[in-house]
Amino acid sequence: MVEAKRALPWLADSLRPISSTAAGSLPKQVKIVEVGPRDGLQNEKNIVPTQVKISLINMLSETGLSVIEATSFVSPKWVPQMADHTEVLQGIQKFPGISYPVLTPNLKGFQAAVAAGAKEVSIFGAASELFTKKNINCSIEESLQRFGEVMHAAGAASIPVRGYVSCVLGCPYEGKIAPAKVAEVSKKMYSMGCYEISLGDTIGVGTPGSMKEMLSAVMKEVPVGALAVHCHDTYGQALANTLVALQMGVSVVDSSVAGLGGCPYAQGASGNVATEDLVYMLHGLGIHTGVDLQKLMEAGVFICKALNRRTSSKVVQASSRL
Amino acid sequence: MGTVPSALKHCLSYQHLLKEQLWIGEPAAPPPALHPGQEFQISGLPDYVKIVEVGPRDGLQNEKVTVPTDIKIELINRLSKAGLSVIEATSFVSSKWVPQMADHTEVMRRIERHPGVQYPVLTPNLQGFHSAIAAGATEVSVFGAASESFNKMNINCSIEESIEKFEEVTKSARNMNIPVRGYVSCALGCPYEGNIVPAKVAEVSKQLYSMGCYEISLGDTIGVGTPGSMKRMLEAVMKEIPVSALAVHCHDTYGQALANILTAIQMGVGVVDSAVAGLGGCPYAKGATGNVATEDVLYMLNGLGINTGVNLYKVMEAGNFICTALNKKTNSKVAQASFNV
């Protein structure tokens, strides 16, 4: 890692705040939601041993990240990678000040999650009827009803719920998605009680143009302080899209260490944006994240070794000796 | 997210969405007139961005495998048909230093010269300039740098000495009505000096512009820049040179290229350098990428409603051709995502 330190001297020097201009004023700090252990691993072909998952999350806990999505309480029949959800949640070190949300697609999953010690959960909606049908075999309306049950139970247990909206910039089945539809679904989930709505460019087809259009519509219904963006880098647009979101006031960004997780809709293509590359950009903009990039890179190197795959992070590719 | 149905690959809507996003089959249209309600226009951005395709020169020069002359010519010919208006063809530098460009004269003489397309070539000194002209070049480029150490290591002289050499070139070029493009390397960081002061970039840029370069391409040679440092550097340079004479040449070594290009465009820059398939690694970071992929830049610009005149699909095809010839995987994410669907 000495090599890495020498290769990245600009990180320390570039931590000067930049003034607001035509390029838009940026938030002074950004919260990163690390989705590698769940969204990332779920979309990796190789099944990862439970102990490796636990080690990864523990390493991530030491980087300064404040939110690490740990696992998913979904049926192992559908998502074998997450079959060990209870073991993972119970096995990780839970650091004070760090949240470890877990996915709960329905009431059953929610109850299992709480029994396993979960203190925060997430629910996954979509802005596309066809995507919802293909994914969870029901309509958007029906999915929201299911979520309603989770919200009710979560409310009773004082457990915060984060809402995701998939396909916000395009759908593999429907094609174009109307910004108004994204706004409608986001509003419903926010009104149900989700404290934050993460807007996901699920297939990575979005560009700064469509991002701006979509956010403009959503921000009419949900306060920007409750919004997050979850950009996929399948077409290389993730950081540019994230930058535009920041310029519009969004200050929560989802990403995945080492860019874990391919795209199930485009074979061989990448998926999640790499947390290392995101942090590099944010620090270069003088935006505070609280994350130690070196430690983050180490966690990424660890999981890539365990998965026997190359990192998708360009920062890591540029910094390590190959 | 649940399981994925196997019928997905035949999903017509995804193909349809791609066709729209990639503007496949769209003829190169003239810049549309601005009118309210135009769906994708973001205010403050240029209507049109000129892409300077550097794959055949900057790209191939940084590829390990020596490419046969015929392949180079075929690549350039294919790019000529994609709607690009500038294609950097080769470099008239000593073959001792850059063996990949040893066939510069043959390449220059044998490529199809499409009307409306410029084929600039690199000319590091007067000797190279004369060879280039003899071979039929009608535009040349000179390469300066904002770092003394980089200059020393690269061309074994100081910035000031290199400026003197370029002045010889621009003087001869002016006499022959040959336009000269100026590059400034290390605009956002240097592999030897580290941080580069924006004022230095502005100073070197101004010198190149004053001696007659019609355009200054600001290069993030090692890709370390971010939107923050890009903004600071451009602010300094734009005090000395009109923005219409500026271009950005971003490397994607740290994944920052598109974000940096977007920042530059938001500040009024209307010319972007890129390389088909993201050809060309980084000589300073083994295994890392270099040039940003033209396909990925086009995808972003198309999505922003910015006209380029370039057919993305044809560029992808040219990229596919050269990657097959080089036996390597494309660095373009758009190509990676599209060719497997």
Chain B neighbors of A277, CB-CB under 8 A: 254-256
Out of A16, A209, A239, the one facing B259 most closely (by C-beta) is A239
Inter-chain residue contact B13 with A135, CB threshold 8 Å: no
Query: A193 to chain B, minimum CA–CA distance in Å?
Result: 21
Q: Tell me, what CATH number does B143's domain have?
A: 3.20.20.70
Chain A neighbors of B5, CB-CB under 8 A: 134
Chain B neighbors of A239, CB-CB under 8 A: 255-256, 258-259
Out of B13, B256, B263, the one facing A23 most closely (by C-beta) is B263
Out of B225, B282, B299, the one facing A235 most closely (by C-beta) is B299
What are B205-256's pLDDT values in tens digits? 999 999 999 999 999 999 999 999 999 999 999 999 999 999 999 999 999 9
Which one, of B70, B67, B111, lies nearest residue B89 by Cα? Answer: B111
Whether B6 maps to a domain, the answer reads: no
**Which of 255-294 (A) contact B at CB < 8 A?**
263-270, 274, 277, 280-281, 283-286
Cβ of residue A233 closer than 8 Å to a chain B Cβ: yes
Q: What are phi and psi of A175, to 5 degrees?
A: 80, -120
User: Which residue of chain A comes nearest to B5, CA vs CA?
Assistant: A134
Whether B41 maps to a domain, the answer reads: no
For residue B69, what are the contacts with CB-CB under 8 A and spacing of at least 6?
B103, B106, B107, B110
C-beta neighbour count of A19 within 10 angstroms? 10
User: Which residue of chain B comes nearest to A125, CA vs CA?
Assistant: B1
For residues A234 and B333, the answer to whether their CB atoms sit within 8 Å is yes
CATH topology of domain A27-320: TIM Barrel (3.20.20)
Interface predicted TM-score (ipTM) of this complex, two decimals: 0.90
Cβ of residue B1 closer than 8 Å to a chain A Cβ: yes
Cβ of residue B300 closer than 8 Å to a chain A Cβ: yes
Q: Which helix (H) or strand (E) holds A191?
A: helix A179-192
Q: Which domain holds residue B256?
A: 57-338
The vertex-B198 CA angle with B192 and B200, nearest 5°, equals: 70
Whether B128 maps to a domain, the answer reads: yes
Whether B44 maps to a domain, the answer reads: no
Instruction: Dig out the tokens for A194 from the structure.
Output: 């989700």
Cβ of residue B224 closer than 8 Å to a chain A Cβ: yes
Chain B neighbors of A267, CB-CB under 8 A: 9, 340-341
User: What percent of chain A shows pLDDT beyond 90?
Assistant: 84
Q: What are phi and psi of A76, to 5 degrees?
A: -65, -15
Inter-chain residue contact A23 with B258, CB threshold 8 Å: no
Inter-chain residue contact A208 with B300, CB threshold 8 Å: yes
Query: A55 to chain B, minimum CA–CA distance in Å?
Result: 24
Distance CA(A126)–CA(B232), nearest Å, equals: 39
Q: Angle B69-80/B312-326 helices, nearest 10 degrees?
A: 170
Q: What is the pLDDT of residue B43?
A: 62
How many beta-carbon pairs below 8 A join chains A and B? 195
Residue B193 corresponds to which amino acid? E
**Burial track A240-279 (b if 16+ CB lie within 10 A, e otherwise):** bbbbbbbbbbbbbbbbbbbbbbbbbbbeebbbbbbbbbbb
User: Which residue of chain A comes nearest to B264, CA vs CA?
Assistant: A23
Catalytic residue from among B190, B213, B250, B282: B282
Cβ of residue A58 closer than 8 Å to a chain B Cβ: no
The number of domains in chain B is 1
Query: A184 to chain B, minimum CA–CA distance in Å?
Result: 20
Residue A196 corresponds to which amino acid? E
How far apart are the two ends of chain B, measured CA to CA in Å? 20
C-beta neighbour count of B261 within 10 angstroms? 28
- Give, in order, the Cα–Cα distances in Å from B93 to each of A46, A120, B60, B99, B100: 48, 62, 14, 9, 10
Catalytic residue from among A171, A194, A231, A263: A263
Cβ of residue B307 closer than 8 Å to a chain A Cβ: no
What are A159-178's pLDDT values in tens digits? 999 999 999 999 999 999 99
**Which of 2-21 (A) contact B at CB < 8 A?**
7, 9-10, 13-14, 16, 18, 21
User: Which residue of chain A comes nearest to B283, CA vs CA?
Assistant: A318
Cβ of residue B337 closer than 8 Å to a chain A Cβ: yes
What are A18-63's pLDDT values in tens digits? 433 344 589 999 999 999 999 999 988 889 999 999 999 999 999 9
Query: A43 to chain B, minimum CA–CA distance in Å?
Result: 9
Low-confidence ranges of chain A (pLDDT < 50): 1-23, 322
Query: B198 to chain A, minimum CA–CA distance in Å?
Result: 13
Which one, of A114, A84, A80, A79, lies nearest residue A100 by Cα? Answer: A114
Active site residue A263: yes
Beta bridge partners of B180: B140
For residue B163, what are the contacts with CB-CB under 8 A and spacing of at least 6?
B144, B204, B207, B208, B211
Distance CA(B237)–CA(B324), nearest Å, equals: 40
Q: What is the pLDDT of residue A254?
A: 98
Q: What is the pLDDT of residue B287?
A: 74
Candidates A25, A237, A280, A313, partner chain B, best to mutate (most B CBs within 10 A):
A237
Low-confidence ranges of chain B (pLDDT < 50): 1-11, 23-42, 341
Cβ of residue A44 closer than 8 Å to a chain B Cβ: no
Cβ of residue A317 closer than 8 Å to a chain B Cβ: yes
Q: Cβ-count burial of B25 within 10 angstroms (0-12 exposed, 13-18 middle, 19+ buried)?
A: exposed
Handedness of CA B36, B41, B45, B50 (dihedral sign): negative
Chain A neighbors of B302, CB-CB under 8 A: 207
Candidates B190, B226, B229, B261, partner chain A, best to mutate (most A CBs within 10 A):
B226
Query: B80 to chain A, minimum CA–CA distance in Å?
Result: 24
Domain ranges within chain A, ordered by starting residue: 27-320
Out of B256, B305, B332, the one facing A209 most closely (by C-beta) is B305
Which one, of A197, A115, A225, A107, lies nearest residue A155 by Cα? Answer: A107
A81-87 own/partner pairs: CB under 8 Å, 24+ apart: A81/A41, A81/A42, A81/A44, A81/A47, A81/A48, A82/A38, A82/A41, A82/A42, A84/A50, A84/A53, A85/A112, A85/A113, A85/A116, A86/A112, A86/A115, A86/A116, A87/A50
Q: Angle B294-303/B257-266 helices, nearest 10 degrees?
A: 40
Q: Angle A275-284/B227-237 helices, nearest 10 degrees?
A: 40
Residue tagged 């990862």 (tokens): A48
